[in-house]
Amino acid sequence: MSEAAVDTQGAPVHRADPGLFVRADESGGQAKLDLVVQSMHCAGCMRRIERALGELDGVSFARANLSTKRVAVKWDPARLQPAAIVEKLASIGFEAVPFDSKLIGMLDESEGRKLLRAMGVAGFAAANVMLLSVSVWSGLVSDMEPETRALFYWISALIALPAIAYAAQPFYRSAYAALRKRQMNMDVPISLAVTLATGMSIVQTVVNAEHVYFDASITLLFFLLIGRYLDVQARNRACSAAQNLLGLRAMAATVVDADGAQRSMPIEALEPGMRVAVAAGARMPADGVVAIGISDVDTSLVTGESLPEPVRPGAHVFAGTLNLTAPMQVTVTARDEHSLLSEIVRLMEAAEQGRSAYVRIADRAARIYAPSVHVMALATVLFWLAMGSSFVTALTNAIAVLIVTCPCALGLAVPVVQVVATGRLLKRGILLKAADGLERLAEVDTIVFDKTGTLTLGRPSLVDSPVATPDLAIAAALARSSRHPLARALVESVGAKPLPVLDDLREEPGHGLEGRLGDEVIRLGNREWVEVGEGASIQHGGSELWLRRGTGKPVCFRFMDKLRPDAVEAIRELKIRGFAIELLSGDREPAARAAADALGIAVWRAGARPDAKIARLKELAAQGRKVLMVGDGLNDAPALRVAHVSMSPADASDVSQTAADFIFQGAKLGAVIEAIEVARKSRRLVFENFALALAYNAVAIPLAFAGFVTPLIAAVAMSTSSITVTLNSLRLSRTAREVNE
């Protein structure tokens, strides 16, 4: 989890002022704040957090939620400042980040609650109706009188009717929505079967006939609601984890007023002409023009370019880019119609419109299943009428066909697999955001990678080069005082070795560092700073730092954006599995070529702008390929939307994370293989479940057709098939455990 707390470049994130996220409590005078605490893992953590917050003066409510890793706090705003809450948690070792309440609205938690309530009602009714039904079934072979049976049926009706009216609503609503769009989904046959079974049972009860199906329809609802609730719950969990990641980025802008006073403000409230202060290591809150300050800007998250770009007053900077070396003040400009960002926004919108609705496997099954079931019911009526039976008998048998074929197992086949798969992915740090993401991922045959930040770690590391150890130690000692990514990489490379102590350290933004060791003046920085002649030019596709001790010969340190630790194996593995791999980078050619060569990717393109990435993806789609796009930058966001299915690392830009179907945490690229593997296994299990359901129907339909299906047989058959399907789906988690061991 710890990588989520650090920004892409390893720079400390400048946290938003928690005061901006405070909401007023509905019930009188209290302030309310949600905090994300990613490092909360156990009972001890919860206890410490709750106790520490309870000690604060004015706090009336503090509750930690371990499932969502959030803490809800309510307090009296007159007695306590919100910043004190975050500080208190920091003092006991928990990093807490205010959670944007607007993000909470993104997730519909009430849906899960509604389903759970419907499930409770259905469960209650199912248990009681079953109780009565079992009495009737056992009574049939002993001495139950028709009057007693009628009483039981009436009571069943009394329990079942309101329960069905309430609990079936999710299915009716979804079926109605599908029919209005002239589409077919699984809920249409479900709704029809429930309605017909209930309707016929009412009639049978009134005429005091032998068989009623209240138990069948209410148990059916109960089973289906369990599946549906678990499905929603699993997705909510993944979504809330994704939201926490985004919440960790929540930034506020520091506005500098005309009189020099600084105040914190939400980014959305910024207006053109305002002056914002951007600290070294912070991201630009908005597009703008540099007013004061000379610095370097890291644009890798926006353009894929891996080298920092020097900026001085008058230069344009884009929202989301990282200020590296020195504090700056930036004048916010209106979003330029021709800026990269507005181009990305335009492309995103176009991609959104152009995206065709994906038809899920269950709905595709319903398209075949529903008409065939209805034809079969019609055939039953005609057959019995032709045989000279009464209309009532014919109709009864037809309805029996509809009830036994009712897709209890089919309705569970997909959701249960989905739940198990989502849970398994979540354990590996892979978050599934789109409901149909797994199904689309299982179809993938081509994978397109972005380079910077996706195949690579998105930060430079020192390349092994013949640099003398004392030089390296001195350079690192100098670099320690800077937050420039190259300087940080240099420090990282020497590890915990003792370093010489330098005096008179100073940093010249955009140029380099200077210090003194004894009588020797030492400079570390770019070519001009160290006064390297032009002759020593080397093309290696990375960046470089030069060191000069006194008047000695300058020494060069080379840096490359290193590949993710398992990138080579991951790509090889994917190739072995028969995926076509491509690289689409926004970076310059040498950098892209180096990465492609190291990974053995034959098809690659450098300097690809967002529209070029989209064009390539459309080209692939036109060839009939199903493309998985893996990318992290803002420039990848439109491509992530256009691709058949998409994945982002957890440190990707927030726009990309919102656009992607999957998010993976951690440095390893193996998550991509893992996700595809789980998706394919899930698809296989879904098809197996369909096969099981069909096998069951192959036995049940002829029986119903012949008029042999009593409510008892229907209940047994339906429960058996549901349980079989559920057990089969659970195999997915069992194979996962075996792999773990």
Partner 1 sequence: MNILVYLMPAALFLGCLGLIGFLWSLKSSQYDDLDGAAERILFDDEDLPRE
DSSP, collapsed to helix, strand or coil, labels residue 345 as: helix
Q: How far apart are CA 51 and CA 104, in angstroms?
A: 25
The one segment of 1-9, 109-117, 262-270, 470-478 that binds partner 1 by CB under 8 A: 109-117
If one asks whether residue 452 binds partner 1 (CB under 8 A), the answer comes out as no
Residue ranges in 488-507 that form contacts with partner 1 under rule CB under 8 A: none
If one asks whether residue 79 binds partner 1 (CB under 8 A), the answer comes out as no
If one asks whether residue 121 binds partner 1 (CB under 8 A), the answer comes out as yes
- The least distance separating partner 1 from the CB of residue 140, rounded to whole angstroms, comes to 15
Q: Please say which residue, 62 or 620, places its beta carbon nearer to partner 1.
A: 62
What is the spatial order of strands in the sheet that 322-323 belongs to?
A: 309-311, 295-298, 322-323
Question: How many other CB atoms are found less than 10 A from the CB of residue 600?
Answer: 11
- The least distance separating partner 1 from the CB of residue 494, rounded to whole angstroms, comes to 42
Burial 712-722 (b: 16+ CB within 10 A, else e): bebbebbeebb
Closest CA to 153 of 618, 711, 686: 711
Q: Please say which residue, 70 or 616, places its beta carbon nearer to partner 1.
A: 70
Return the residue of 12, 24, 55, 63 that touches partner 1, per CB under 8 A: 63
Q: Please say which residue, 103 or 116, places its beta carbon nearer to partner 1.
A: 116
If one asks whether residue 427 binds partner 1 (CB under 8 A), the answer comes out as no
If one asks whether residue 155 binds partner 1 (CB under 8 A), the answer comes out as yes
If one asks whether residue 32 binds partner 1 (CB under 8 A), the answer comes out as no
First-last CA distance in the chain = 22
Residue 454 DSSP label = I
Return the residue of 1, 46, 209, 345 that touches partner 1, per CB under 8 A: 46
- Helices 214-247, 169-180: axis angle to 10 degrees equals 80
Closest CA to 453 of 636, 233, 621, 276: 636
If one asks whether residue 131 binds partner 1 (CB under 8 A), the answer comes out as yes
- The least distance separating partner 1 from the CB of residue 113, rounded to whole angstroms, comes to 7
If one asks whether residue 116 binds partner 1 (CB under 8 A), the answer comes out as yes
The verdict on whether 450 is a catalytic residue reads yes
* CB proximity list for 80: less than 8 A, separation 6 or greater: 56, 57, 58, 59
If one asks whether residue 12 binds partner 1 (CB under 8 A), the answer comes out as no
Closest CA to 60 of 74, 49, 47, 70: 74
The one segment of 61-69, 171-179, 477-485, 668-676 that binds partner 1 by CB under 8 A: 61-69
What the block records as the tokens of 593 is 């070529």
The one segment of 41-49, 318-326, 424-432, 650-658 that binds partner 1 by CB under 8 A: 41-49
Q: Please say which residue, 65 or 393, places its beta carbon nearer to partner 1.
A: 65
The one segment of 75-83, 110-118, 189-197, 355-363 that binds partner 1 by CB under 8 A: 110-118
- Give the containing element (helix H, strand E) for 399: helix 391-405
Q: Please say which residue, 120 or 273, places its beta carbon nearer to partner 1.
A: 120
Closest CA to 241 of 452, 60, 425, 63: 425
- The least distance separating partner 1 from the CB of residue 33, rounded to whole angstroms, comes to 15
What the block records as the tokens of 671 is 């998550």
Q: Please say which residue, 151 or 269, places its beta carbon nearer to partner 1.
A: 151
DSSP 669-690: THHHHHHHHHHHHHHHHHHHHH
Phi, psi of 463 (to 5 degrees): -85, 140
- The least distance separating partner 1 from the CB of residue 125, rounded to whole angstroms, comes to 9
Residue 708 DSSP label = -
Are the beta carbons of 479 and 513 closer than 8 angstroms? yes
The one segment of 43-51, 513-521, 529-537, 605-613 that binds partner 1 by CB under 8 A: 43-51
Q: Please say which residue, 67 or 465, places its beta carbon nearer to partner 1.
A: 67
If one asks whether residue 61 binds partner 1 (CB under 8 A), the answer comes out as yes
Return the residue of 67, 101, 208, 390 that touches partner 1, per CB under 8 A: 67
Residue ranges in 259-298 that form contacts with partner 1 under rule CB under 8 A: none
In Å, what is the CA distance from 136 to each residue of 147, 148, 327?
11, 9, 81
Q: SS3 letters for 142-179?
A: CCCCHHHHHHHHHHHHHHHHHHHHHHCHHHHHHHHHHH
Q: Which of 187, 231, 287, 450 is the catalytic position?
A: 450
If one asks whether residue 138 binds partner 1 (CB under 8 A), the answer comes out as no
Question: How many other CB atoms are found less than 10 A from the CB of residue 662?
Answer: 25
- The least distance separating partner 1 from the CB of residue 138, rounded to whole angstroms, comes to 14
Q: How far apart are CA 58 and CA 399, in angstroms?
A: 64
Return the residue of 8, 38, 128, 456 that touches partner 1, per CB under 8 A: 128
Q: Please say which residue, 112 or 485, places its beta carbon nearer to partner 1.
A: 112
Are the beta carbons of 303 and 633 closer than 8 angstroms? yes
If one asks whether residue 66 binds partner 1 (CB under 8 A), the answer comes out as yes
If one asks whether residue 383 binds partner 1 (CB under 8 A), the answer comes out as no
If one asks whether residue 465 binds partner 1 (CB under 8 A), the answer comes out as no
Closest CA to 718 of 371, 213, 329: 213
Closest CA to 250 of 106, 429, 102: 102
Q: How far apart are CA 543 and CA 424, in angstroms?
A: 40
- The least distance separating partner 1 from the CB of residue 70, rounded to whole angstroms, comes to 9
- The least distance separating partner 1 from the CB of residue 278, rounded to whole angstroms, comes to 38
DSSP 183-206: ---THHHHHHHHHHHHHHHHHHHH
What the block records as the tokens of 280 is 């070294």
Q: Please say which residue, 163 or 297, places its beta carbon nearer to partner 1.
A: 163
What the block records as the tokens of 738 is 């075996």
Return the residue of 4, 22, 37, 62 that touches partner 1, per CB under 8 A: 62
Residue 249 DSSP label = T
- The least distance separating partner 1 from the CB of residue 71, rounded to whole angstroms, comes to 11
If one asks whether residue 244 binds partner 1 (CB under 8 A), the answer comes out as no
If one asks whether residue 124 binds partner 1 (CB under 8 A), the answer comes out as yes
Question: How many other CB atoms are found less than 10 A from the CB of residue 492?
Answer: 15
- The least distance separating partner 1 from the CB of residue 213, rounded to whole angstroms, comes to 20
The one segment of 151-159, 526-534, 650-658, 719-727 that binds partner 1 by CB under 8 A: 151-159
Q: How far apart are CA 374 and CA 680, in angstroms?
A: 32
Q: Please say which residue, 46 or 730, places its beta carbon nearer to partner 1.
A: 46
Q: Please say which residue, 61 or 172, places its beta carbon nearer to partner 1.
A: 61
The length of the chain, given as a count of residues: 741
Return the residue of 117, 588, 626, 680 that touches partner 1, per CB under 8 A: 117
Q: Please say which residue, 236 or 719, places its beta carbon nearer to partner 1.
A: 236
Catalytic amino acids? 450
**What is the binding site for partner 1 (CB under 8 A)?**
42-43, 46-47, 54, 60-68, 74, 113, 116-117, 120-121, 124, 127-128, 131, 148, 151, 155, 159
